[in-house]
Amino acid sequence: MIRRRKLLVAAGTTVLAAPAIGPAFGQGAYPNKPLKVIVPYPPGGGTDGLGRITSEFLSQKLGQPIVVQNIGGASGTTGSEVVRRSDPDGYTLLFNASLFVLGKTILPSCPYEPQTDFRAIAQAGEAPLVLLANLNVPGTDYASTMDAIAKDPKKFFFALSSGGSAGHIATLEFLKKTKLPLDTILYKGTAPANADLLSGSVQLFMDPWTALLPLATSGKARGLFVTSRQRTQLAPNIPTSDEVGLKDFTPSSWYGLWAPKDTPDPVVDRVAAAMAEVSKDATFLARTASLGIVPTARGPKEFAAYIKQEVETNTALLKEANYKPE
C-alpha cells in the first residue's frame, strides 16, 4: 500500500512526513523525533533535488519525518559548518556533493576538514559526465573530433564550470590521458559555461550529464561520450568513454550523507542501514533514473575509504595542473 505523505514547503524548507514508527523504535531509541537534513545550496539545484528525494525515502525507512533545509552561501561551507557545529546525536545531517570533500584544496577559507570533522554515513548516488563539443568543431564523432583538435589545439578551449568540480577534475584527467595541450577557462557555474559553449566562445565542456545531456539530445551540441560504464537510456546514441578508447575513465559527480564527527556508531549504522534500504527501493530507483542519477550503496567504511582515495587522486591532479584556489 502506498502511504500518503504531506509536503510542507516554506522558505526553502520541506517537511517530509513519515508513517508512524513501529514497536522496534521504543521510547529513547534512535530515531524518536524528526530529523533535519541540511543541503548547503539554494533550492532548485542538482544537489538539492537529489537531497530531497533521498530524504523522502530515508524518512520512510527510519519512520520519522525529515525536515530538508537549504542553507546556502560561501560555496556550500555555510550550511556544512552548521552541521559540523550541531549536536552529534544523528538528528542534524548533511547532504552534499563530491566537491565538499576537497575542502581547503579548493576553498582556502573553508572552516573545516571534511574527512576529520564529519562522519561519512553513505553515498547516495552519482551522476556520470558527458563531453560536449560545439557544433562548429570539425568532426562527427569522438575520433574525428579529436583528430581535428589535435591538428591545431590552440584554436580550442575547454570550459570548466567551477574550480575543483567533478567536471574540472575529469577535464584535467582527460587532458592528461589524451596529451592534448588545450587551455581551460574557469567559469562560475554551469549556466555561463553552457552559454559560451553554445555561442562558440569555448569549444568543449565536460560536466555532469544531469545538466548537459539536454543540449546533446536537443541537437544544440555534439555529445562525444559519457563516463558511465553503460550507455544511458537518456541519450542512447552517445557512446561510453570505454567505447571510444578511454579505458577506466569513469569520473562522476557523486552525492552523500554526513554527520558531525562525534556521532555514535549505533546512530551512524542505523542511518546507513536505512540508506542501504533506500538504494534498493524500486520507486527510488525509478525516480533517480529519470534524473540521470545512478544510485550507489556505499556504507560508512566503504564510503570513507572511497572519499580518501578521491581526495588523494583529485588533489594530485589539481596540484599537477598548478591550480590556485580563489
The pLDDT score that the predictor gives to residue 25 is 38
Judge if 267 and 212 occupy the same domain: no
Residue 207 phi, psi dihedral angles, 5° rounding: -155, 175
Q: What is the dihedral of CA 211, 235, 276, 260, to 10 degrees?
A: -20
Helix (H, G, I), strand (E, B) or coil at 146: helix
Judge if 89 and 160 occupy the same domain: no
Judge if 19 and 156 occupy the same domain: no
Judge if 82 and 222 occupy the same domain: no
Judge if 38 and 99 occupy the same domain: yes
- Report how far residue 270's alpha carbon sits from residue 190's, in angstroms, rounded to the nearest whole number: 36
What are the mean pLDDT values of the chain's consecutive 10-residue runs (326 residues total)?
36 50 53 98 90 98 98 94 98 97 94 97 96 97 97 96 94 97 94 96 96 95 97 96 97 97 98 97 95 91 97 96 86
Domain boundary residue, one of 186, 209, 226: 226
Is 118 contained in some domain? Answer: yes
**17 grid coordinates:** 512526513
Is 57 contained in some domain? Answer: yes
Judge if 101 and 149 occupy the same domain: no
Judge if 220 and 312 occupy the same domain: no
Judge if 173 and 313 occupy the same domain: no
- Report how far residue 324's alpha carbon sits from residue 257's, in angstroms, rounded to the nearest whole number: 28
- CB-based contact 210:44 (threshold 8 Å): no
Is 247 contained in some domain? Answer: no
The pLDDT score that the predictor gives to residue 1 is 34
Burial class (CB in 10 A: 0-12, 13-18, 19+), 149: buried
DSSP state of 16: E
If one counts the domains in the chain, the total is: 2
The radius of gyration of the chain from alpha carbons, rounded to an integer in Å, stands at: 20
- CB-based contact 75:107 (threshold 8 Å): yes
Is 274 contained in some domain? Answer: yes
- CB-based contact 213:236 (threshold 8 Å): no
Hey, CA dihedral for 134, 206, 174, 185, is it positive or negative? Answer: positive
Judge if 37 and 121 occupy the same domain: yes
Judge if 149 and 67 occupy the same domain: no
CB neighbourhood size of 318 (10 A): 20
The residue segments making up the domain with residue 116 are 7-127+253-320
Is 22 contained in some domain? Answer: yes
Which has the closest alpha carbon to 118: 134, 138, 103, 135? Answer: 103
Locate all alpha helices (DSSP H) within the chain, ordered by sequence.
46-62, 77-84, 114-117, 142-151, 166-178, 190-199, 209-217, 265-278, 282-291, 300-320
CATH number for the domain spanning 142: value is 3.40.190.10
Domain boundary residue, one of 226, 241, 271: 226
Amino acid at 121: I
Is 278 contained in some domain? Answer: yes
Is 239 contained in some domain? Answer: no
pTM: 0.87
CB neighbourhood size of 184 (10 A): 17
Angle, helix 46-62 to helix 265-278, in steps of 10 degrees: 110
Is 85 contained in some domain? Answer: yes
Judge if 12 and 101 occupy the same domain: yes
Beta bridge partners, 141, equal: none
Measured between alpha carbons, how far apart are the two ends of the chain, in Å? 52
**311 grid coordinates:** 581526495
Judge if 56 and 120 occupy the same domain: yes
Cis peptide before 42 (omega within 30 of 0): no
Question: Measuring CA to CA, how many Å separate 182 from each of 66, 96, 204, 268?
Answer: 46, 31, 10, 44
Question: Measuring CA to CA, how many Å separate 300 from each of 115, 148, 228?
Answer: 12, 46, 24
DSSP state of 75: G
CATH number for the domain spanning 84: value is 3.40.190.150
The pLDDT score that the predictor gives to residue 324 is 87
